């Protein structure tokens, strides 16, 4: 297959942990051809098809200078066997516009994973609203009084912006309610922005678990991201420690409940965030943790992913 990765600049990859890199490496190992571009390289003009300036690359196997560019040319997106949308969050206006360009490419015959429409339809924090049976007490609001009422009921809460990533902008307010007003005003911009408020889950001490679902099926191991140094956040970007472990019964039940539903919508890869027995987020833009799980358990997550990609492309050709 000829596979195009739409991603951040290749020069910015930290390949010792980067999931997109691990996908590329496994694809090349199987003999597939790898190319890459950034969303800013995608273009459409009336009378033509969606195109992009792409770099065909060859992975070197070296830690430094890990790729070599074999050609640079403008190609129609539908000429690729598969396109993997792997641009990291935030899901801003430019990401949104990129999904529309990719959806036009789909109309022209391109195969895009994850589906551009599904990326738009599943904002990573709000997507949990569809599955209330799996989540803890949660409030989505702009109203400071609603936040105060939620705190009065649950006494220990987490507040976070809807567009945050890597643990940015997450606050905990305990029973005393200290700084609740100031935190709410900061996050909701004095009522201009919607925020999410959730009951604090003590199980975070055991880790914020990333449960990967590929082709509707759970990877048998998750990565528990354990807060360090008094932090409430387990995100690796916020200093959390990643510990791979087998799925619990609750992890597996959540993944098996959501997996087929999300896969049917064109979400080939999903990263579920689970604290204790509660689903907290559904990550669809650029789920990670392939390398950490593979290195710690021996289970080859990139191989499972490319298996499912090959199957998905074969099905779509029929």
Residues catalogued as catalytic: 125, 160, 210, 225, 233, 273, 281, 283
CA 234-99-316 angle, to 5 degrees, is 100
Run of H or E including 221: strand 221-226
Record the tokens describing residue 229, joined without a space.
Answer: 């140094």
Bridge pairing between strands 51-59 and 67-76: antiparallel
Residue 154 C-alpha from the chain's centroid = 29
Record the tokens describing residue 295, joined without a space.
Answer: 């290195």
Record the tokens describing residue 17, joined without a space.
Answer: 């942990």
DSSP-derived secondary structure for 228-261: -TT-S---GGGTPEEEEEEPPHHHHHHHHHHHHH
| Residues with Cβ within 8 Å of residue 45, at least 6 apart in sequence | none
Burial class of residue 305 (count of CB atoms within 10 Å of its CB; 0-12, 13-18, 19+): buried
Give CA–CA dist 191/282, Å, rounded: 25
Please answer whether residues 78 and 110 qualify as being in contact, where contact means their C-beta atoms are separated by less than 8 angstroms.
yes
Give CA–CA dist 209/281, Å, rounded: 10
């Amino acid at each position: 297959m000829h596979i195009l990765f739409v991603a951040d600049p290749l020069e910015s990859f930290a390949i010792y942990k980067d999931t997109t890199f691990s996908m590329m490496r496994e694809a090349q190992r199987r003999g597939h051809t790898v190319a890459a571009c950034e969303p800013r390289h995608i273009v459409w003009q009336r009378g033509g098809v969606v195109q992009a300036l792409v770099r065909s690359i060859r992975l070197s196997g070296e830690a430094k200078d890990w790729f070599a560019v074999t050609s640079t040319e403008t190609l129609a997106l539908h000429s690729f066997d598969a396109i993997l949308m792997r641009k990291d969050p935030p899901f801003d206006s430019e990401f949104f516009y990129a999904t529309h360009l990719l959806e036009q490419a789909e109309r022209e015959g391109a195969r895009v994973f994850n589906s551009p429409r599904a990326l738009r339809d599943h904002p990573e924090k709000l997507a949990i609203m569809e599955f209330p049976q799996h989540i803890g007490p949660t409030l989505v609001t702009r109203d400071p009084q609603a936040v105060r009422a939620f705190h009065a009921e649950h006494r220990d809460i987490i507040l976070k912006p809807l567009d945050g990533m890597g643990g940015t902008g997450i606050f905990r307010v305990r029973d005393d309610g200290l700084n609740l007003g100031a935190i709410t005003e900061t996050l909701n911009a004095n009522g201009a922005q919607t925020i999410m408020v959730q009951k604090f889950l003590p199980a975070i001490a055991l880790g914020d678990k990333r449960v990967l679902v590929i082709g509707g099926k759970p990877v048998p191991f998750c990565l528990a991201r354990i807060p360090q140094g008094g932090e409430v956040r387990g995100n690796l970007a916020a200093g959390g420690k990643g510990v791979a472990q087998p799925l619990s019964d609750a992890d597996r039940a959540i993944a098996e409940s959501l997996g087929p539903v999300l896969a049917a919508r064109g979400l080939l890869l999903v990263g579920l965030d689970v604290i204790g027995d509660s689903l907290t987020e559904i990550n669809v833009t650029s789920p990670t943790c392939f390398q950490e799980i593979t290195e710690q358990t021996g289970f080859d997550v990139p191989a499972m992913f490319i298996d499912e990609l090959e199957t998905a492309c074969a099905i779509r050709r029929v």
